[in-house]
Amino acid sequence: MKKLVVFISILSLGHAKAQIDPVKYPTFTSIDEALNSKKTVYSISFREKGLFNLPPQIVKLNSLFFLNIMGNKLEKMDQEIFALTELEILNVNENSIKYIPDEIGNLKKLNTFSMNLNGLTSINPNIAKLQNLKAVHLDANNLNVFPEALMEIPALEEINLQGNQISVIADRLNKIKNLKFLNLSENQINDLGNLAFPKNLKYLELQQNAIVKLPENLFKARNLEFLNASSNHITELSKRIKGLKNIVSMNLANNDLKDLPVEIAQLKKLKTLILTGNPIEKTKIERLKSLMPETQIYF
């Protein structure tokens, strides 16, 4: 069963108007209430209303910047959505939508797009027209390749693709120059080749894949602070791991590591190193602890 992923991240909300100030931007939950409001309506939520379709009158709310339609029974994205050209945050989580229409490109101001727990098998290339997009959440769908359209949006800071079936990632990931957070956990990745990562990347989640080796280019990601590569099939780490100068936390639990290179001791900012579930001899762990007295090592 796929994990339930239903949040809009704090990072993403930071780009919304005053983080959706409930006083200045009250969120309406009824279309009639919204239409009868004497004030401009900026935010509306139809969360878990059992809707099969959006009320067509929503197009009259042409100042909307926040729309939450998660947890309904939608099988498609209604055309009314694409008339709301002021939208900045769109949450379509937990529906039964299998494709994204071409009209997605109309939402030029969108900065957070969340479509977790649907039935997507591919991503419409028109999403590349959303050049203001900062965060995209496509967790728990049926994607089998990394959406290449996302590589055409350098402004993206956060990508969540947890719990899909991705096994292929084109070697253009580093084109997303502002990317800080990338979650590729619970996919079917076994070979990252020598994938190049964006220089600004800070958080990388690769756990629960079938990765045998971390790519050499990863160790050029000097701004990386958190790396989770647990529950893979990694057998060794490159000496170039010393390149992760700003790494604070590294989770390598449940892999096939028998030893670590001494160069790991050069990671002076590393506070937490998790090695549980690896076949490393106790004597090697003790040596590692003596080399890294400031690092909390779990084994």
pLDDT at 22 (0 to 100) = 66
CB atoms within 10 A of CB 64: 25
Average pLDDT over residues 11-28: 63
User: What confidence category does residue 52 fall into, taking pLDDT thresholds of 50, 70 and 90?
Assistant: very high
Nearest CA to 225 among 249, 253, 251, 261?
A: 249
Q: Tens digit of pLDDT for each residue in 104-155? A: 999 999 999 999 999 999 999 999 999 999 999 999 999 999 999 999 999 9
- Chain-centroid distance of CA 188 in Å reads 16
Q: Determine which helix (DSSP H) or strand (DSSP E) holds 283, and give its type and residue range.
A: helix 282-291
Nearest CA to 141 among 93, 89, 105, 183?
A: 93
Residue 163 has pLDDT above 90, yes or no: yes
Are residues 25 and 44 in contact, defined by beta-carbon separation less than 8 angstroms? no
Residue 210 has pLDDT above 80, yes or no: yes
Are residues 174 and 196 in contact, defined by beta-carbon separation less than 8 angstroms? yes
C-alpha 202/C-alpha 121 separation (Å) is 28
Residue with tokens 């003596």: 290
CB atoms within 10 A of CB 47: 16
pLDDT at 36 (0 to 100) = 96
Q: Tens digit of pLDDT for each residue in 249-269? A: 999 999 999 999 999 999 999
pLDDT at 20 (0 to 100) = 63
C-alpha 226/C-alpha 161 separation (Å) is 17
pLDDT at 25 (0 to 100) = 85
Residue 68 has pLDDT above 50, yes or no: yes
Q: Determine which helix (DSSP H) or strand (DSSP E) holds 136, and give its type and residue range.
A: strand 135-137
Residue 13 has pLDDT above 60, yes or no: no
Residue with tokens 């067509």: 56
Domains and CATH numbers, the chain: 1-187 (3.80.10.10), 189-299 (3.80.10.10)
Nearest CA to 247 among 265, 271, 230, 229?
A: 271
Residue 10 has pLDDT above 70, yes or no: no
User: What confidence category does residue 24 fall into, taking pLDDT thresholds of 50, 70 and 90?
Assistant: confident
Residue 7 has pLDDT above 50, yes or no: no
pLDDT at 11 (0 to 100) = 41
User: What confidence category does residue 17 fall into, taking pLDDT thresholds of 50, 70 and 90?
Assistant: low
pLDDT at 19 (0 to 100) = 56
Kindly give, in sequence order, each residue whose CB lies less than 8 Å from that of residue 168, ignoring residues fewer than 6 positions away: 144, 145, 146
Residue 3 has pLDDT above 50, yes or no: no
Tokens encoding 178: 């502002």
Query: Chain-wide mean pLDDT for the chain?
Result: 93
pLDDT at 5 (0 to 100) = 40
